[in-house]
């Protein structure tokens, strides 16, 4: 799932055109992800994201460098790269499992809601690919649903969950997700929260023939366990 379409300034457009047609220029741009200045890293990461929107296959040879960029200190470099990696998921998953640790760390960043949403978007896109992947990401996804339920980014997270619910997820994950969303599907405050939660809940119930799905114990922030809806 791509971000809302953004306006490119002249510099963005020029750099994007250059790296699209010159692999050496693209390699130099990717090297800037570990540059000495924050501004250079952020610019490089933004162009990488724009390239992933337009020609994601051009980035498949640079996955290791993109994964490494998830450990830069500034949030923008990380969210731009996470969004680029999300766009790579349907193109080639090779090496993308290396991004899971960095994505999970970003998911619980205390300062940037944009970074948290980008991490959630990547994890749910990865998890939708097959049963094993869904089991791999579910604990972090479930924790995020609980942690950010009342936050502004939760509206967009529900969109990610809808795509996740329609993916090749494991039946046990489907049951736990349905159980997690059941209360909002039936009693959610606000038209969007209730309607989108109900849409996901009923999709899961129908796809997996679920009956009275119940939440299992899952980890919450701080290592606590929770078995409540």
Residue 109 forms part of a structural domain: yes
Residue 99 in any domain: the answer is yes
Residue 21 within any structural domain of the chain: yes
Other beta carbons within 10 angstroms of residue 224's beta carbon come to: 8
pLDDT in the model for residue 220: 47
Same domain flag for 122 and 168: no
Note whether 22 and 102 are same-domain residues. Answer: yes
For residue 3, being part of any structural domain is answered with no
Is the full-model pTM beyond 0.75?
yes
- Count of domains for the chain: 2
Task: Give residue-wise pLDDT tens across range 158-178.
Answer: 999 999 999 999 999 999 999
If asked whether residues 137 and 228 sit together in one domain, one would say: yes
pLDDT-derived band of residue 35, with 50, 70 and 90 as boundaries?
very high
List the domain range (segments joined by +) for residue 136: 130-229
- Write out pLDDT tens, residues 118-144: 999 999 999 999 999 999 999 999 999
């Amino acid at each position: 799932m791509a971000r809302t379409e953004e306006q490119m300034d002249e510099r963005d457009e020029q750099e994007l055109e250059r790296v699209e047609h010159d692999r050496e220029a693209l390699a130099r741009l990717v090297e800037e992800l570990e540059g000495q200045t924050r501004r250079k890293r952020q610019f490089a990461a933004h162009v990488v994201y724009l390239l992933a929107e337009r020609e994601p296959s051009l980035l498949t040879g640079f996955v290791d460098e993109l994964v490494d960029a998830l450990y830069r200190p500034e949030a923008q470099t990380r969210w731009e790269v996470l969004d680029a990696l999300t766009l790579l998921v349907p193109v080639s998953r090779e090496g993308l499992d290396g991004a899971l640790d960095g994505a999970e760390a970003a998911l619980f960043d205390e300062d940037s809601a944009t970074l948290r949403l980008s991490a959630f978007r990547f994890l749910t896109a990865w998890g939708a690919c097959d049963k094993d992947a869904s089991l791999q990401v579910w604990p972090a996804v479930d924790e995020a649903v609980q942690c950010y339920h009342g936050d502004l980014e939760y509206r967009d997270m529900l969109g990610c969950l809808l795509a996740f619910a329609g993916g090749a997820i494991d039946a046990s994950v489907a049951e736990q997700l349905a159980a997690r969303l059941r209360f909002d599907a039936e009693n959610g405050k606000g038209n969007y929260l209730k309607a989108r939660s109900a849409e996901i809940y009923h999709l899961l119930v129908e796809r997996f023939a679920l009956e009275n799905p119940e939440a299992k114990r899952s980890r919450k922030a701080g290592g606590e366990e929770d078995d409540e809806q």
